[in-house]
Amino acid sequence: MPSDDAYVFTLPMKVRDYEVDSEGIVNNAIYLHYFEHTRHEFCTMAGLSFRRMRELGMAPVVSEISVRYITPLGLGESMDSMLSLSRRGPRFIFRQWIVNERGQTVADATVTVVNMLNGRPTRGDEFAAAFSRYLTS
């Protein structure tokens, strides 16, 4: 589990029945949904919802993602999905963790996002302004 100062946002979630496979565990692709939903909720909490981004002509695009699966989640389990955010030039790096109700890290990911503005890549200044108080070094 990441230390308390490692993350800036936490989203409680629960495994739904349609997210498990025939063995009763969460399918590996579902974790990508969990991670993405957490990023969307973080953006909304930070004051820049995806709806607002669309209105401004912005489009955050995942350019790279790496996931490490550690232990499975099963039907009905509760979890916390956590993230931290840093910037490297025009790239915004989300470090994300899913932690089960026993405090064990289930999966972690590094997600790189770049911003497009009216269909063109940007330096990311729009994101930096919106997320400045959440950025870690």
User: Which residues form the catalytic set?
Assistant: 21
**Cα gap 137→128, rounded to integer Å:** 12
User: What whole-number distance in Å separates Cα of residue 96 and Cα of residue 106?
Assistant: 11
- Structure tokens, 4: 């308390």
Strand partners for 13 = 79
Rounded CA-CA distance 131/10 in Å is: 16
**Rounded-to-integer distance, Cα 37 and Cα 66, Å:** 16
